[in-house]
Structures are given as structure tokens and as C-alpha cells.
Amino acid sequence: MTDIEQLEASILDDIHAASDEATLESVRVATLGKQGSVSALLKTLGAMNPDDRRTRGAAINALKDRVGLSIADRKGILKASALDARLARETVDVSLPVRPGPLAEGRIHPVSQVIDEITAIFADMGFAVAEGPDIETDHYNFTALNFPPDHPAREMHDTFFLKPKEDGSRLLLRTHTSPVQVRTMEKQRPPIRIIAPGRTYRCDSDATHTPMFHQVEGLVIDETTHFGHLKWVLEEFLKAFFEVDEVKTRFRPSFFPFTEPSMEVDVGCRRSGSEIRIGEGDDWLEILGCGMVHPNVIRAAGLDPDVYQGFAFGMGIDRIAMLKYGMPDLRAFFDADARWLKHYGFRPLDLPSLYGGLTG
Ligand code: DAH
């Protein structure tokens, strides 16, 4: 075997042994590269006489070409098998059922669902959503809502007070969503049509009361809105919310400092065992407070009560959620128990809307 044949055999062995493109590249550098073995042979031509150079040169250049071709062939094979391996690794079986991901597993809390339902119903009647802070001043929570100083109604609310400030004033956790009425009237010129869902706080805890709970406030202020509008809005809301064609209501005179006249509203219901059907039957269930906004409240918010008038209402969200979805214990709402949420929660993509159906 000539030295050229020997070199060629060992190079071809190396080329075939290369199992990936990086190894093959190092074989190329070690043979055809500047310092490579084939290049080293070519360099020996310079010292030869012309005859030797001609024969030897042709042989070395032929070797160089064959090595180049072999490397190119091997490279094609390695490329193809790398691609095959990758395709095998990344195969997607489109016939496999979709794995349960967060969208299938996660649940919307009934309180959030009911807030979305209430918002959808009132949005359809032209109401916007307003917000206010959970930490309130005495002014917005009581004084501007026509609670006289030291009036017992302030005590009725079992208020959580924060530590007094140096000037003696105390912030508090809002006991109802009614402060949003005042904040909205201060910010916005009538006509005003808003609902304000949110968290409220009272120092109270048993099967039907938790220290944090949810209310939704409603407020309509313009120059002509009267009690008839209030009744219609509430009845339309109750029918839509409980998804019934008719709902019996009873408006009972009541007292709130911020409305005059003030009313509590009961809905007709039928109880059998622990089940309650809303809208029919001879029993009554108290569901919300409402009334015509007191002139003092309109004045405290900077509007002229001789020009502007309207109605307000306030409703416990947790309570109507319990009624609609048959959840017996309010405390479970705030236990953060994933099993409870899986049972009573709602699918995230079933958004409540009047056209799509509130509860899908
Ligand atoms: N803020 C009252 C409460 O928490 C509920 C309420 C009653 C709100 C009558 C109103 C209303 O806007 O007009 O007990």
C-alpha cells in the first residue's frame, strides 16, 4: 500500500466513525485544513523535481478531492439522521386528547361569578361600574351619608377602626359600599348611573356573617328619576339574576340615614326543606335596602338637591350568591378550600352575559 493509499484508508475510517457533524468537522480540519494531513502532503510537492511533482501532484489532488467528497457525503447522511431524530423526538400525536391545563382545572369563585352576572345585567340597563377604597374616612362612610355625629346608626355597623391619627381622626374599613355614592357624585356630573360592587367589613362572624363580605351599591342621579324607576330597575334585575319570568316583590318602609323614603325589599319564595325557590310561593326573603337619595347626601356631595334627585340601593352579594347557587354556609366562601371551589366554582371561559345566558 502506498503512503497515499494508507492515509486515505485511515481518513475514510475516521469519516465513517464520525457520528455527528461536529466530529466530522474536526476530521475535515485534521485533513483538508491548513495544518491537515492532506495539506501537509501537498506542501511536500515544492521540493520535488518537475516529473515527480506532476505524477505525485495529480495523485495528492485526487486524494484531496475524494476526501472532500466523502466528507460531503457523510455530512449529508449525518444531517438527515439528525433531522430524523429530531422529528421523532418532537412528534406530536394530534389524536391524543388535550391534557387538562389551567383553563380546564381552574375555577372562578362564586362571588366573582355573581359580581360578573350583576355587572352584565346592570350594564345592559346603562349602568357603569364605579369603585372606591376599602379603607375609608369617617366622612365618606358616615358623615356625608347623613349619619349625625354620635348617632346610634354608626354603632349598628360594628365598624373596624384603624389606630387614631395624631389629630384624633380615625380611618376605618368601609362598612358598606354606600361611600362610593358620595365619591361618584363628587367626581361626575349627573346624569349618574352606576353600580359599585366591592368588599365591605364589619366586626361580626357566624354562619351567615363574615368580617369581610361583599356588597353592590346602585346609584342613579339626574333631574327626574323617581321611585317608579327604582322599582322597575330592581324588579328587572331580580328577574334577570334569578333567571325567572316573574318575581314577586314587597317594598317595606324602613330607615337608612342616606335615603328618604327608605325601603327594604323582600322577594317572594317557596321553601321546602333546605331548598328555596325564588320568585314564587308565599314566603318572603329580605334581599336589599333602597330608597330615594336624601337631599343632605346630594348636598354633601356638592350637588344642588333642588335640581338633582335619584335613587340608591345596596345589596349583599354573598347572600344572593348563596340563594342562587344553593350554598349553605357563608364561611366556606372564604376558607380557600380547593375542593369547595371545584364543586361550586365556575369555568373561566363561561363569561356571564345576557345574550349568552348568565350561567351558561
Ligand atoms: N348601606 C346599607 C347597608 O349596608 C345598604 C343600603 C340601604 C344601601 C339602602 C343603599 C340604600 O344605597 O339606599 O346596610
- The domain spans of the chain are 3-89, 109-344
Residue 181 CA: which ligand 1 atom is closest? Answer: 12
Residue 311 CA, closest ligand 1 atom number: 13
Residues 266-300: tens digit of each pLDDT? 999 888 877 788 888 889 989 999 999 999 999 99
What does the pLDDT average to over 299-318? Answer: 97
Secondary structure of 35-103 in the HEC alphabet?
CCHHHHHHHHHHHCCHHHHHHHHHHHHHHHHHHHHHHHHHHHHHHHHHHHHHHHHCCCCCCCCCCCCHH
**Domain 109-344 annotated CATH 3.30.930.10:** yes
Residue 176 has what DSSP assignment?
S
pLDDT per position as a tens digit, 141-184: 999 999 998 887 676 678 999 999 999 888 999 999 999 999 99
Mean pLDDT of 183-189: 97
CA of 141 to the centre of ligand 1 (A): 11
358: which DSSP letter?
T
Identify the residue whose cell numbers are 346592570.
Answer: 122
Atom of ligand 1 nearest to the CA of 291: 13
The closest residue, in CA terms, to atom 12 on ligand 1 is 313
Asked if 46 contacts 20 with a C-beta cutoff of 8 angstroms, the reply is no
Give the count of beta carbons closer than 10 Å to the beta carbon of residue 60. Answer: 21
Q: How far is the CA of 198 from the centre of ligand 1 (A)?
A: 13
d(CA 260, CA 145): 12
> How many Å lie between the centroid of ligand 1 and the Cα of residue 343?
32
Task: Report how far Cα 310 is from the mean position of its chain's Cα atoms.
Answer: 34
- Pocket residues: Cβ below 6 A from ligand 1: 176, 178, 217, 256, 259, 289-291, 312-314
Q: Is 301 in contact with 185 (CB distance < 8 Å)? A: yes
> What Å distances lie between residue 119 and 112, 198, 266, CA to CA?
10, 12, 21
Per-residue pLDDT at 105? 81
Would you tell me how many other CB atoms lie within 10 Å of the CB of residue 85?
Answer: 10
217 in Cβ contact with 180 (< 8 Å): yes
Best residue for ligand 1 mutational test, from 127, 172, 177, 178 (most atoms within 8 Å of Cβ): 178
Say what the pLDDT of residue 360 is.
57
What is the CA(314)–ligand 1 centre distance, in A? 4
